[in-house]
Amino acid sequence: MSTASNAGPMTERVVLVTGAAKRVGAAFVRGFHAQGARVAIHFHRSSDTARALHDELNAQRADSAILVQADLLDSAVIPNIVATTIARFGQLDVLINNASTFYPTPVGAISVDHWDDLIGTNLKAPLFLAQAAAPHLAKTHGLILNMIDIHGQRPLPEHPVYSTAKAGLAMLTRSLARELGPEIRVNGIAPGPILWPEGGIDESLKQEIIAKTQLKRSGSPEDLVKAALFFAIDAPFVTGQILAVDGGRSIGW
């Protein structure tokens, strides 16, 4: 196993990412790790992909990544996610609330389970993770970064519960920035068309969405990683802000 230092601007810092086994979460983990950070990879069910990512990063730099398994809908275990990270690395510098559930809930077919799931993962879990992490982040003058959505500002058709949850997360971001300053900065990223749903999307709808961006193309997870690294490294005087990474989608609609 390599023991290369991979020194970078995040060297000696510790980053916890939720929903980190794949897609954007895995991109965050790889991006911060490449800048020297030690990383805690939270996952729920994606154990195989989480383990592969864990092994990949530790092969690059020994003892630089750990796995933390937990169901974010179980509020009782949320403090353990933070505690496990602290027990292994001794500190926490960045919490990225990335984990999310996303699916349509047309009015007339919304269930209590839909509400509990979408609100739970997209809003409730970030709040209680932030609360658990706050004492540790205060010691390092750390950062909470919430993954929001441009549809937290303007609702996505047939997704009223999801859109409401992300709107709540936008307000939570601003509220926590006020409550946790000056020791902790709290910011958000609101992606536009970056990754399409895992279940696929009709090609004509995809092209319609892309056409409504000002840049006439979709983005990539790396665009989100660059935004996150900006907040973590280059924006020490920025808090309570939400950056749309959407190719200009949110100004066109």
Name, in order, each residue with C-beta under 8 angstroms of 230's C-beta and a sequence gap of 6 or more.
none
**How far is Cα 45 from Cα 186, in angstroms, rounded to an integer?**
28
- Assigned token pair, 92: 């926490």
Name, in order, each residue with C-beta under 8 angstroms of 190's C-beta and a sequence gap of 6 or more.
148, 149, 150, 152, 153, 170, 242, 243, 244, 245, 246, 250
Evaluate whether 27 touches 56 at the Cβ level (below 8 Å). no
What's the per-residue H, E or C state across 153-209? Answer: CCCCCCCHHHHHHHHHHHHHHHHHHHHHCCCCEEEEEEECCCCCCCCCCCHHHHHHH
Evaluate whether 190 touches 148 at the Cβ level (below 8 Å). yes
- Assigned token pair, 154: 């303007």
- Assigned token pair, 225: 């990683």
**How far is Cα 229 from Cα 227, in angstroms, rounded to an integer?**
5
- Known catalytic residues are 162
